[in-house]
Structure 1
Amino acid sequence: MGSMSPATTTTHAPPRGVASGYSVIGADRATGICTGYSPDMPAGHFRFTPGRGMALVAVAALLWSTTGVVSRVLFEQTEISPLMVAFIRLAVAAPLFTAIGLLHQGRGFLRLPPATGHWLLLLGLAQAGFQVGYLSSVEKIGAGLATLIALCLAPVLVALLGTLLLGEALTRRVLTALALAIAGTALLVISPQAMDIGEGLWAGVGYGLFAAGVYAAFTLISRHAADHVHPMQSAALGFGVGALVMVPALSMEGLAPLIETAALTVPALAYLALIPTTLGYVCFFSGLRHTTATISSILVLLEPLGAALLAWALLGEALGPFGLLGAIMLTVAVMGLTVPGFARRLLG
């Protein structure tokens, strides 16, 4: 794909299943697309190196896991809003994705196939909704709890929406995963540690559920563009549209919170835009060319689990016994949907 060097050669196309569909989690954080092998790229420039792919996807997930923790620090120590953090994250990353795409694909990067523009517009709107919902949840209930709710529920909602809207089969596996996800979320929310949050708990949970729902819809929308649009195109345009739709609301907020605490906000926002966003997605897209959708689905679980661990270690956000059990149930639900062998053994 665009972020990979074309120097290596082979005469074979990628192995069957390599980045050919998409992982219902992780991949869709940026574009919803796990098509690391672009239809515009010749198969003669590909070498399948699984170890490299797994390492890159794992690095991406771990970088993403820092987003909630850094954002939580900003919310606790400054007056900056989730809207401002989301806007800067997208506004800085969008031109960087465009520059990377132009560097590797030339002017062809700016050409879109017919009938894809409206899908990319919807992806941008969903991207904005997810970012604001997720970061608002982080502000209210903390990085660990918000990330577990928003990211682990989303794949289950994808399966449910696929059944309701697309006529996909409602299998025992989907029903079991849904039950586990609901029970796991309930345990997270009713744990004594969560109850100690106070009046912001239910608002934060609501924002997390909203983010999960938008993420799920985002995933389904992206399927219409996945076969025609390069992942970096989708990221650049989706992030750009997402930033633009925030401008009217942001204009009413002003820049005072950003300027008053610039010593903290500027480096923190620069980190969020450059490291977990830009570098994280480049690592992820690159890694997808060298690993299967199943493996990538497992590796991106490092994000919510890493976020929960970092939140505990750095911010003192302990989940407690109920919360830990809930996190395990959410993880099992996701793996049951994304890992075929795991599903057959545990979820029927």
Structure 2
Amino acid sequence: MDKIKGILAVFLGAASFGILSTFVKKAYAQGFNLGEVTGIQALFGMLFLWIALGLLAGINPKYFHRYASSSPKWLIIFSGLSTGAVSILYYKCVQLVPASLAIVLLMQYIWIGQLIEFLLFGQRPTIKLLLGIVIILGATALATGLLEQDLQQLDVLGLGYGLAAATAYAIFIIVNGRVGNDYPPLQKSALMVSGAFIFVFLTLQPLSIFDSQTLRTLWPYGLLLSLFGTVLPPVLFAYGIPKTGVSLGSILSAVELPVAVCMSNVVLQENVSFIQLVGVGCILLVVIFLNIQKKPSS
């Protein structure tokens, strides 16, 4: 039962992450820059999580007694750098290349994460998992319309940012499964997002978000991006990944792709071809296949 809850939490967290590129594109269209978009997301996300944590502590203080929190808080805050890095690198990629290609590049976290697991922890992927990864990567190219784009017009710098974002996302998933699991998920997320906030503000210094005129038009994007990019995914991943394991969590996170494709069609009115729908369907089928457990023989 715990594993099922974990699977659902990771699934919903990834789906939340999948809508981000659509709203980032809309924010750029309104004239906002990378620093303002990432800065407002990090600020609002941190505030929401600490306020929610304070309310929970006031309503049910005994909740925190269930956890023997012994990990150093600075380590969890430091691990939040991966969250901030994902936002900066991915949103920069979205700025330079089409949204469909950006999500293709981000999806490379699947094999990058497995490579990191193998190199650092000696965890060998199963044949079933390797097969699923290969199929997902192939289906990703279909689902995003990669085969229908003119590759000669691609931005090389954008490709680099996309692969860097994929690496940061793989590290984020691995860190979530190994750091701070002795803390309540909400507190762990608040600490990680605080680390992301510090990283974003030291790196980009988006002080313009505190200007009243900028904030008046930017806050709706900050609300959406922080909720679906900073608040929900870390909380749901912090709860779910320890229950599913890092490998299964990485595969479940692939649901962000079909969500991103659907959002681009509904909100941005981008055309979704039959080939893209086939790719989305293949990814969903692979996710189901990887989670089917053999019944023990009687």
TM-score range, shorter chain: 0.7 to 0.9
Q: Give, in whole Å, the separation in 1 of the partners of 2:232 and 2:158.
A: 26
Contact 1:94 1:236 in 2 (8 A): yes
* 1:90 and 2:90 correspond: no
Contact 2:254 2:283 in 1 (8 A): no
- 2:176 alignment partner in structure 1: 222
Contact 1:149 1:185 in 2 (8 A): no
Contact 2:105 2:166 in 1 (8 A): yes
Q: Amino acid of the residue matched to residue 266 of structure 1?
A: W
Match of 1:163 among 103, 118, 128: 118
Q: Give, in whole Å, the separation in 1 of the partners of 2:130 and 2:27.
A: 38
Q: How much identity, in percent, do the aligned residues show?
A: 19
- 1:54 alignment partner in structure 2: none
- 1:236 alignment partner in structure 2: 190
Q: Amino acid of the residue matched to residue 234 of structure 1?
A: K
Alpha-carbon shift at residue 162 of structure 1 (Å): 2.0
State the TM-score, normalized to the length of structure 2.
Answer: 0.74
Structure 2 runs not aligned, ≥5 long: none
Shifted more, 253-262 versus 68-77: the winner is 253-262
- 2:221 alignment partner in structure 1: 268
* 1:121 and 2:121 correspond: no
Alpha-carbon shift at residue 114 of structure 1 (Å): 3.2
- 2:93 alignment partner in structure 1: 137
Contact 1:148 1:308 in 2 (8 A): no
Deviations 1:72-106 (A, max 9, x none): 0111231x223331222122111221221222235
Q: Give, in whole Å, the separation in 2 of the partners of 1:147 and 1:301.
A: 10
Match of 1:247 among 198, 201, 211: 201
Q: Give, in whole Å, the separation in 2 of the partners of 1:245 and 1:286.
A: 20
> What SS class does the counterpart of residue 17 from structure 1 fall into?
helix
Q: Give, in whole Å, the separation in 1 of the partners of 2:131 and 2:251.
A: 19
Q: Give, in whole Å, the separation in 2 of the partners of 1:122 and 1:73.
A: 31
Match of 1:71 among 9, 19, 24: 24
Q: Amino acid of the residue matched to residue 187 of structure 2?
A: Q
Deviations 1:121-147 (A, max 9, x none): 342110111111221222223444433
- 1:177 alignment partner in structure 2: 132
Alpha-carbon shift at residue 307 of structure 1 (Å): 1.7
Contact 1:68 1:307 in 2 (8 A): yes
Contact 1:86 1:132 in 2 (8 A): yes
Q: Give, in whole Å, the separation in 2 of the partners of 1:261 and 1:217.
A: 33
Contact 2:21 2:91 in 1 (8 A): yes
Q: Give, in whole Å, the separation in 1 of the partners of 2:230 and 2:133.
A: 32
Q: Amino acid of the residue matched to residue 137 of structure 1?
A: C
- Compared with structure 1, are the counterparts of its residues 278 and 217 closer, same or farther at alpha carbon in structure 2 (3 Å cutoff)? closer
Aligned residues: 285
- Compared with structure 1, are the counterparts of its residues 333 and 217 closer, same or farther at alpha carbon in structure 2 (3 Å cutoff)? farther
- Compared with structure 1, are the counterparts of its residues 85 and 163 closer, same or farther at alpha carbon in structure 2 (3 Å cutoff)? same
- 1:313 alignment partner in structure 2: 266
Deviations 1:224-270 (A, max 9, x none): 2253122111211111111111223323x652897776564232223
Structure 1 runs not aligned, ≥5 long: 1-14, 28-56
- Compared with structure 1, are the counterparts of its residues 256 and 116 closer, same or farther at alpha carbon in structure 2 (3 Å cutoff)? closer
Equivalent residues in 2 for 1:277-296, closer than 5 Å: 277=229, 280-281=232-233, 284=236, 293=244
Contact 1:68 1:144 in 2 (8 A): no
Contact 1:144 1:309 in 2 (8 A): no
Q: Higher helix fraction: Structure 1 or Structure 2?
A: 2
Contact 2:89 2:161 in 1 (8 A): yes
Q: Amino acid of the residue matched to residue 139 of structure 1?
A: Q
Match of 2:55 among 84, 98, 103: 103
Contact 2:139 2:280 in 1 (8 A): yes
